[in-house]
A and B are shown apart, each in its own frame.
Chain A
Amino acid sequence: MTSRLPTLLLAALLPALSGAAACAADADVERIKRGEYLTRAADCIACHTAEKSRPFAGGYALQTPLGTIYGSNITPDQETGIGSWSDDDFYRALHDGIGKDGRHLYPAMPYSAYTKLNRDDVLAIKAYLFSQPAVRNPVAQTGLSFPFNQRWAIAGWKAINFTPGPLAVPAGKDVQWTRGAYLVEALGHCQECHTPRTATFGLSGKKRYAGGEIDGWQAYNISSDPLSGLGSWSDQAVLDYLRTGNAANHGQAAGPMAEVVENSLRHLEEADLRAMLRYLREIPPVHDSRDSKPRIAWGNPAGDEARLRGSSGISLGNTAGSAAELFSANCASCHGASGQGSEDGYYPALLHNSTTGARDPSNLIQVLLHGVTRDDGKDVRFMPGFGDTLDDAELAQLTNYVRSQFGNAPAAVTGKDIGQRRAGNAGKPWLLQAVLVGAILLLVIVLALLLRPRRSKPVRIDIDV
């Protein structure tokens, strides 16, 4: 009995099997089920699925500062998927970041986190993936420009930024903490977005969970710092957020985090969510001196509506007399004229809201441009984007109004800022690119020198099977 058969077929065949085989099959079914849970906790689907109708068939384009990287096909298709991969091949990919062909995987694959997974869990994930339909789908080759297309140079990146090995559990930590650490550090790979990157694009060891950037969105500081991180959040708020992406008067998940809730977190068991909470609570605080109040502590209800009426008229010109009018016209019909949201919480309050209270306007601008879609399993939370109906200057006006009234506005945004976000190049200034390119080139040279005696051998780790 191979583990490649779909679960249903396995179940159908069960009665026909003799005792010992049936036990083995039971174990397989159990392992596939566990694998499904782990696959969700590891959110593999996020980067390995381009079309919802073909899960795990790859093709998802991940925008990174180095260029576009395409998620591979991890269905059991023999040619275009991972159907020919052995257990060791699969384990090596997750544990060492090396593909079946012996080439280094781009660290967009979060093997810095997955390396901490138990082999048993890794193989359960494989069993689950192999129980899914094989989809023939040749995925576009990732085509980064030089020097980022030099796969062997990833060895240099790894030498500095990657330590293979299991999760380190300090003495005295109990089962719940350890489980939480495993979920947050290994499966959930939360650091990948929530920890800032170093100049060589590795995870900062000093600023763990101090916040990072993904696809133009901010992944906020989720360390236990009371002002900069989650220290001020109630347990209930953290659990609500993890379970549904919606924590009333705290924050709502949008963009990539909404996908994490949808694909991963909402499927987790209560005990696991509580373990994550426990672990998050004990992440050392990383404070940013610019934060004087928690993100959720900003804002006041708006009171402009009555003043607007009678002062602005009827017009055929698509212009607004004030930012308050833009807010009333575009936002108030759902979020309320005061910005306090709806009683049932479907439309969140804009004050006491992590997105408006953040120092960085990125997420608010992203939400205004692209809207929100988040399926929490019970309801689809949806907000339309306004990128098509409001121009850059209007969006800037609206952003500044919302931040000043309901959140934190250390500096005003301009129409030009909005234009850059539209083009998708905010947060990736040329300077940073250049520094990165320089750093990597330097690494390449150093490594070439170091590896000189063995340079005729390809970088490859062979594991006997």
Chain B
Amino acid sequence: MANTESADIVVVGSGVAGALIAHQLASSGASVLLLEAGPRLERWRIVENYRNTPFKDDYSSPYPPAVHAPHPQYAPPNDYLILKGTHKYNSQYLRVVGGTTWHWAAATWRFLPVDFRMQSTYGVGRDWPLAYQDLESFYAKAEIELGVSGPNDGTDLGSPRSRPYPMDALPLSWNDQRFQEVLGGNGFRVVSEPVARNSRPYDTRPTCCGNNNCMPICPIGAMYGGIVHVEKAERAGARVLANAVVYKVELDAKDHVAAVHYKDPAGVSHRVSGRQFVLAANGIEIPKLLLMSTDKYSAGVANRSDQVGRNLMDHPGTGVTFLANEDLWPGRGPMEMTSIVNLRDGDFRSGYAGKKLHLNNGARVRQATETALGMGLVGPALDAEIRRRAARTVNINSFHDILPNPYNRIVPSSSQRDALGLARPEITYSIDDYVQKSAVHTHEAYAQIAQLFGGTEIYFDDEFAPNNHIMGTTIMGSDGNNSVVNADCRTHDHDNLWIASGAVMASAGTVNCTLTIAALALRIADALQKEAA
């Protein structure tokens, strides 16, 4: 097949990882092509979609899946993911230019140093082939690129820093202030969460003005999203090709990647050659692509270890909702501002999962209204009840650190196809005792917190919910026999194939993975620049 396109650097996936790499490489003078399966959407169009959707709870709703590049949608369900196993891995991600950071809480935590050494420290999970210190300068760089505001008041989050946050933290909402005050003296450590959200004008983006719908869309761009670096990459000379669904990685005789192949929305195939290839999609679509690329090896590309698609992780979450004995008025400012961090680490991690708990600061007016209407109230009584519930509802959620387990995996379905005839992802997933045991303890912590607020109508949501942090499926390691990429995120099997994604992460930690993904991406960008030199 003749080439349709060619570039020095071919990046597959235009989310934060791919966009950061495309931007840095294009800025250094390389020719860069950024391929994105999904369409391009303007922020203002997404804002209108959100306002118009009746499914306000489904953050994918303003991003209708393209027919040629579907992504999971649950309201109404499109059943894109085929879910098997004892627990449903009903995760969300977006296939659009800019990726899934269009909708996120913008939490930009660093891992703890010990998160990289779980096996040697606690005898569970895996060690990373790199240490926190190897990544620290890239964490710092990522914080500058994304524009992170955080507690510059000396708060120690356990991840040593070489420089302050680029911006100070936003002032806490009343809800978060009270959360910090009430819990602070009672054995919980509540801190301001580092976030990629502007507390002052930064990088030509405005200060957060508290629209309180970070998810599904920041209407003013105060919150960082991968689209920021997509646009920067374009200004630096990178080309972005939307609606290009990469379905095959082609190897040459020397096991170098020679090209990737994509289908356009009409189903026509195109070949893109290049010198270096970076897979920067998510932890479901990347292994699917590698496992579908069977022209040379029946096990797929980069899969000598048989680990591609395995070790699928997330942060299984449980929650609690109750009515406090005081008005807290969640909904002012961003949707999430504070976290409880004293359960992230400890000797207990050899027996059960560490976790982070976080207060939901999303407005509760809609839920309060539904409940009050359900109570059959009308007139002033209805108004009063809506106010009471909107002011007093507390909702807390959690991330549990799941261990990499090769039986939790994603494979291309052997029977189910999407509109372009490409396999749909089939996921088998179970949440083991390591997390279950921790969740029991989390439940107790929730009960204690509810008590501190004089909570009534306490509702525990103990069923694990997904948090859309897709990790582990092209896992990093020093041994090519049991891992897919090395410490540089380069595949063990193919010299010019790199993976920039949560898929490489060897442990899940207890915090949102985007900053770690961004730091690893910037490290890849440096390595690619050295290769070119």
Contact = CB atoms under 8 A, between A and B. Distances in A.
Instruction: Please determine whether chains A and B interact with each other in the same assembly.
Output: yes
A389 interface: yes
A464 interface: no
A312 B44 contact: no
Nearest to A342: B209
Given A328-B48, A333-B209, A384-B204, 17 more contacts: A314-B52, A315-B48, A316-B66, A318-B42, A320-B45, A325-B48, A329-B45, A329-B47, A334-B220, A347-B209, A380-B200, A380-B201, A383-B206, A384-B205, A384-B221, A388-B231, A390-B44
Given A333-B219, A334-B209, A384-B204, A318 B45 contact: yes
A330 interface: yes
A-B pairs with the 9 shortest C-beta distances? A382-B201, A329-B44, A333-B219, A314-B49, A318-B42, A329-B48, A329-B47, A330-B44, A318-B45
A382 B45 CA distance: 22
A320 B47 CA distance: 12
A317 B52 CA distance: 15
Nearest to B231: A388
Interface of B: 39-45, 47-49, 51-53, 61-62, 64, 66, 200-201, 204-207, 209, 211, 219-221, 231
A58 to B, nearest CB: 25
A314 B62 CA distance: 7
B206 A312 contact: no
Interface string A287-318: 00000000000000000000011101111111
Contact of A316 (B51, B64, B207): B64
Interface centre among B45, B53, B205, B219 (most CB of A within 10 A): B45
A380 B198 CA distance: 12
A40 B435 CA distance: 64
A373 B39 contact: no
Interface centre among A312, A319, A384 (most CB of B within 10 A): A384
A342 B206 CA distance: 15
A313 to B, nearest CB: 6
Contacts of B204: 371, 384
A14 interface: no
Interface of A: 308-310, 312-320, 325-326, 328-330, 333-334, 342, 346-347, 371, 373, 380, 382-384, 388-390
Nearest to A389: B42
Nearest to A347: B209
Interface of A is mostly: loop
B185 to A, nearest CB: 33
Contact of A382 (B41, B207, B219): B207
Interface centre among A310, A325, A373 (most CB of B within 10 A): A325
Given A380-B200, A384-B221, A389-B43, A312 B209 contact: no
Contacts of A390: 44
A318 B61 contact: no
Given A314-B49, A333-B220, A334-B220, A384 B206 contact: yes
A74 to B, nearest CB: 29
Nearest to A375: B201
B42 to A, nearest CB: 4
Interface centre among A308, A317, A319, A330 (most CB of B within 10 A): A330
20 contacts: A309-B52, A310-B52, A314-B49, A314-B53, A314-B61, A315-B45, A315-B48, A316-B66, A319-B45, A320-B44, A330-B44, A333-B47, A333-B209, A334-B209, A346-B209, A347-B209, A383-B206, A384-B204, A384-B221, A389-B42
B333 to A, nearest CB: 14
A314 B44 contact: no
Contacts of B205: 384
A329 B45 CA distance: 7
A5 B49 CA distance: 62
Interface centre among A309, A329, A334, A380 (most CB of B within 10 A): A329
Nearest to B211: A333
A21 B39 CA distance: 75
A317 B39 CA distance: 9
A314 B219 contact: no
Contact of B206 (A309, A315, A382): A382
Interface centre among A310, A333, A347, A390 (most CB of B within 10 A): A333
A313 B52 contact: yes
A438 to B, nearest CB: 41
Contacts of A313: 52
Contacts of A389: 42-44
Nearest to A330: B44
A312 to B, nearest CB: 6
Given A373-B201, A384-B205, A328 B211 contact: no
Contact of A315 (B43, B49, B201, B211): B49
Nearest to B200: A380
B74 to A, nearest CB: 15
A145 to B, nearest CB: 30
A328 B53 CA distance: 15
A122 B231 CA distance: 47
A362 B220 CA distance: 24
Interface centre among B48, B200, B219 (most CB of A within 10 A): B48
A312 B204 CA distance: 30
Contacts of A333: 47, 209, 211, 219-220
A315 B231 CA distance: 22
B44 A326 contact: yes
A212 B64 CA distance: 49
A318 B41 CA distance: 6
A310 B52 CA distance: 7
B41 A316 contact: yes
B225 to A, nearest CB: 13
Contacts of B221: 384
Contacts of B47: 329, 333
Given A316-B41, A373-B201, A384 B52 contact: no
A325 B209 CA distance: 20
B101 to A, nearest CB: 17
A460 B206 CA distance: 51
A312 B61 CA distance: 15
A28 to B, nearest CB: 38
Contacts of A380: 200-201
Contacts of B62: 314
Contacts of B43: 389
Nearest to B96: A316
B40 to A, nearest CB: 8
A147 to B, nearest CB: 38
B207 to A, nearest CB: 7
A182 to B, nearest CB: 35
A330 B206 CA distance: 13
Contacts of B211: 333
A316 B69 CA distance: 12
A334 B219 CA distance: 9
A325 B50 CA distance: 13
Contacts of A330: 44
A324 to B, nearest CB: 11
Contacts of B61: 314
Nearest to A384: B206
Contacts of A310: 52
Contacts of B209: 333-334, 342, 346-347
A320 B66 CA distance: 19
A325 B43 CA distance: 13
Contacts of B231: 388
A389 B204 CA distance: 13
Contacts of B41: 316, 318
Interface centre among B40, B43, B52, B66 (most CB of A within 10 A): B52
A11 B231 CA distance: 50
A315 B201 CA distance: 30
Given A318-B42, A384-B221, A312 B201 contact: no
A216 B215 CA distance: 38
A333 B211 CA distance: 7
Contacts of A326: 44
A316 B39 contact: yes
A337 to B, nearest CB: 10
Contacts of B49: 314-315
